[in-house]
A and B are shown apart, each in its own frame.
Chain A
């Protein structure tokens, strides 16, 4: 297990201040209380999240090991159908996000939809944007609805790390392709004869940033060091994530999880990466990326995960016309991007103030934060960055810091560190969790934020649907 965890990597999210919390009242001092305004805007269609589901997230190489990506995606789609009871032909469009593509099912959205029993008349496409792929799937859906092109869209994401495409070497591929074109036996034999031992070494998909050749864990470790995040702080945050996830699971709060009968195996109905440990145990681990003085370990990183998620999005009128009681409105969202080397995982820091500004909100207005936890060090670095006037002024061109979120509102049902992080599927989990938490906790505004490979980031505001 440990060796598998060592490989864990990727993704992004953000969050707030850890200990010190200076609320950032710039505007809307009056909006502090429960009398919050709605974020609806004249002339912009209200888009609602009717419901959202996910398969249990499993560590790669466990119960899902023999499946294919579209099997997982199909399970999420079927779960959504069952949960919402929507007629299979009432959906106008399907969008899925994924990161590492199985070459046989590169448009995994379509393959999964066909198998899930959706009408074959529903178009489907797949998007990819690293760890915010399913966020991108959702916002694509929001765009389609807002533009009046569709009334009901299913968005989702899937990642399957138990099997990734491992290729022959480029030399071997070249030889094999030439072999296809060889006309005579002599040509074929000479091509076969040209194969050397070196041709046989395979190419593994790299968990590294293509543009910089740096692995994400290495970058996270440097980021943590740059913001002075200690090993103990990271371990503590990871422990918090596991404990909160365990608590949420025990209390039955993770309602988005749908059971999945895996062919040839038992029914899976729980995530298997939630393992609250102890500080003593966690501190024993050696650094996974920067040796020997690094601070990022297998235990304070998210692990390689198999899983899929799906949400049903509709225009408000359509949802009401079909008799649904939506869970939340999807409101403003932004995408950001920055230097993929030194600021690879700072997406949330850049995205949060931008999306708040768009909606005219401040940090203290937000009731529920769901940030993607790629690495504990990355989350804590983002919290510190958001709480730094110097960083805001020097690197973001802003007048002052946005402030960091209150920890008592932050990732209260666990996060990617504990629940798992199927790259392409995490975004929908975050959005659904915000909707569920707003309902449960009685808040009005929720904020999703995430970082992603390529130095990109995303944030979205979600508003509770009036009860």
Chain B
């Protein structure tokens, strides 16, 4: 509890003995339910306090046998206590990988309290807290928290017509996820696919997600059924004539998407917005097929939709303000954290993530093991390494995107040889969904077949930039540089959205607060000098972008002007 900072529900707190008594929330009475409940709580609490004072209620603070045993151990021998501190420290090291200083300080404070008395303990706590608040980790996390709050607000005003009826096309991976986060917010939702099998599977996925909540007692079966009644599955376009928004999540193919757009436009009402869910296809190209491009917008959901908070909303220069306001409104309703980006190859997150992947691939070619590369990323603070991430996303999708981005950006974007990935896809190694990718699932081993494929593509690692540190920064500098370039090109509007997108979209280490805060903390100069060294070996892939160079030239330039303060 101390170390993880977990929230504890009222029921659980009572079971744990942290609180003695709970009151139930009340419904409407002579005042609103909220007021009524608070007054009730006060009344009951005052009653209990009075009874405690008159000794009408006895205070029972019997410790359980287990707690007594713990006390005995804690009060017991020095070496035993020492062992406990060490075990706790080790566990924290394992879980937090040494990124966050706070848990260690907490253990220290507890130790001080037990060994030297509570006064010393509280003193230590106050001092450590003061120090911790000033750490870069603390600033990074507070910055993210503030940014997160900001991305939970609609900065584009209220839409003219609120979306009440949503239609989703495609019941594959994303469609049901989008339906899931919509129906429980009261949006009437149609899920359409071309086959009975598809919609049946889609429905089952949505149902399962809510049924799990029923099993966990987080929801009643009636709430589940009432929520599910908002979902209708079908293979035709009936009901689209009254839809306020259509989100298409069909196969990532420009022609198919255009085809779908034309079909949909024939049946929807004039005010209906057409949102396309894609991770990399140009929205402009899709919108070219539209009779009303001002109503077309991109909504890039991340998989799994119910778990990933981020949503990238992509506008073209033709997208109307109201369309944007409406899309953001729906996304916020769906519980998403929204960043708004301009249309461009790979938008923001995909473009940065792609960079990381092609560079990882080059390291692989140079003979670095898959696990080593993933652990380089993890020791920078990533939760999962680039290969495991690619396995999650799907290697075929990763290939598709990388190829496209390399084509658009040319040599600047290249890295490892994509033929390796192509061969993998041809052999059916498509990542987690096919059971095998860079890893073999079930066993969680590295896939030996990858080693086999690699033989053909092996290159020698240049020794000047192949220290662990250099390898790590080759990965990081490229994706950070790409982020900064996105800001420079106006793909993203603010560093804050860039940081939120990177952290919530592809898992950029929260401990650094995102690529932009990282540059501020690490120093643009230091980063650029590293990149220049890499540039000497590999060329333009490591050329720092102009905005980074500006920051080197002018030392007063910062992406964030001041340290963040916590607005609670």
A229 to chain B: closest residue by CB: B29
Chain B residues with CB under 8 Å of A321's CB are none
Flag if A384 contacts B28 (CB, 8 Å): no
Determine whether the beta carbon of B27 is less than 8 Å from that of A341.
Answer: yes
Q: Are B220 and A212 in contact (CB under 8 A)?
A: yes
Instruction: Determine which residue in A211, A213, A222, A290 has the highest number of CB atoms from chain B within 10 A of its CB, and name it.
Output: A222
Knowing A211-B222, A213-B220 are in contact, say whether A290-B24 is a contact too (CB < 8 A).
Answer: yes
CB 8 Å contact bits of A211-226 with B (1 = contact, 0 = none): 1110000100011011
Asked if A395 lies at the interface with its beta carbon under 8 angstroms from chain B, I say yes
Cβ < 8 Å to A, chain B residues 23-68? 23-33, 36, 40, 44, 47-48
Chain B residues positioned under 8 Å from A210 (CB to CB)? 222
Q: What chain B residues lie within 8 Å of A5 (beta carbons)? A: none
Identify B30's interface contact among A228, A290, A341, CB under 8 A.
Answer: A228
Are A211 and B26 touching (Cβ within 8 A)?
no
B229 interface contact, C-beta 8 A: no
Question: B40 to A225, Cβ gap below 8 A?
Answer: yes
Docked-complex contact A293 and B21, CB < 8 angstroms: yes
Structural contact, B26 and A225, CB atoms closer than 8 A: yes
The residues of B that contact A391 with a CB separation of less than 8 Å are: 28-30
Task: Collect the chain B residues with CB atoms within 8 Å of residue A342's CB.
Answer: 26-28, 33
**Residues in chain B near residue A84, CB distance under 8 A:** none
Docked-complex contact B44 and A227, CB < 8 angstroms:
no
Provide the bound-state CA to CA distance between A212 and B48, in Å: 29
Q: How far is the CB of B36 from chain A (nearest CB, A)?
A: 5
Please tell me if A434 contacts chain B, counting CB pairs below 8 Å. Answer: no
On whether the beta carbons of A293 and B220 are closer than 8 Å, the reply is no
Give how many A residues have a beta carbon under 8 Å from the other chain's beta carbons. Answer: 26
Residues of B within 8 A of A169 (CB): none
Give Cα A339 to B226, complex, Å: 13
For the complex, what is the distance from the CA of A385 to the CA of B36, rounded to whole Å?
A: 14
Bound-complex Cα distance A226 to B36 (A): 6
Task: Say yes or no: is A381 at the interface (Cβ < 8 Å to chain B).
Answer: yes
Chain A, 384-420, contact with B by CB distance < 8 Å: what is the 0/1 string?
Answer: 1100101100110000000000000000000000000
Cα–Cα distance between A342 and B33 once the two chains are bound (Å): 9
CB atoms of B27 and A226 under 8 A apart: yes
Give the A-B pair count, Cβ closer than 8 A: 58
Docked-complex contact B21 and A292, CB < 8 angstroms = yes
Which B residues touch A339, using CB under 8 A?
A: 27
CB distance from A79 to the nearest CB of B (A): 40
Instruction: Return chain B residues, CB-CB under 8 Å to A388.
Output: 30
Decide if the interface of chain B is mainly helix, strand, loop or mixed: loop
Give the residues in chain A near B40, CB-CB below 8 Å: 225-226
Within 8 A of B (CB), among A211-249: 211-213, 218, 222-223, 225-228
CB distance from A227 to the nearest CB of B (A): 4
Chain B residues near A226 (CB-CB < 8 A) = 26-30, 33, 36, 40
A228-B29, A293-B47, A342-B33 are contacts. A211–B24 as well, Cβ < 8 Å? Answer: no
How far is A395 from B32 in the complex, measured between Cα atoms in Å? 10
| Assembled-state Cα–Cα distance A238/B70 (Å) | 51
Central interface residue in B28, B33, B220, B222, by most chain A CB within 10 Å: B28
**Alpha-carbon distance between A342 and B32 when the two chains are bound, in angstroms:** 12
User: Which residues of the partner chain B approach A63 to less than 8 Å between Cβ atoms?
Assistant: none
Q: Given that A225-B40, A292-B21, A293-B48 are known contacts, is A384 also in contact with B30, CB under 8 Å in the complex?
A: yes
Q: A390 contacts which chain B residues (CB < 8 A)?
A: 30-31
CA distance A391 to B31 in the complex (A): 8
**Assembly CA distance A239 to B220 (angstroms):** 37
| Nearest residue, chain B, Cβ from A343 | B27
For the complex, give the distance between the alpha carbons of A331 and B524 in Å. Answer: 85
Residues of A within 8 A of B32 (CB): 394
Q: With contacts A226-B36, A293-B21 known, is A394 near B28, CB below 8 A? A: yes
Give A66 Cβ to nearest chain B Cβ, in Å.
Answer: 37
User: A430 → chain B, closest Cβ, in Å?
Assistant: 26
- Binary contact readout A348-377 vs B (1 if CB under 8 angstroms, 0 otherwise): 000000000000000000000000000000
Once A211-B220, A211-B222 are accepted as A-B contacts, the answer to whether A222 and B27 lie under 8 Å apart by CB is yes
- Of the listed residues A218, A293, A381, the one surrounded by the most CB atoms of chain B closer than 10 A to its CB is A293
B222 proximity list for chain A (CB < 8 A): 210-212
A189-227 interface with B by 8 A CB criterion? 210-213, 218, 222-223, 225-227
- In the bound complex, how far is the Cα of B48 from the Cα of A223, in angstroms? 21
Q: How far is the CB of A200 from chain B (nearest CB, A)?
A: 23
Q: Would you call B30 and A293 a contact (CB within 8 A)?
A: no
Determine the distance from Cα of A316 to Cα of B494 in the docked complex, in whole angstroms: 81
Q: Could you name 17 residue pairs across A and B whose Cβ atoms are closer than 8 Å?
A: A211-B222, A223-B27, A225-B40, A226-B28, A226-B33, A226-B36, A226-B40, A227-B30, A290-B24, A342-B26, A342-B33, A343-B28, A381-B29, A385-B29, A390-B31, A391-B29, A391-B30
Hey, which bits of chain A sit against chain B, CB under 8 A?
A: 210-213, 218, 222-223, 225-228, 290, 292-293, 339, 341-343, 381, 384-385, 388, 390-391, 394-395
Interface residues of chain B, those whose CB is within 8 Å of chain A, are 21, 23-33, 36, 40, 44, 47-48, 220, 222
Q: Which 4 residue pairs across A and B have the least CB separation, nearest first?
A: A342-B27, A226-B29, A211-B222, A226-B26
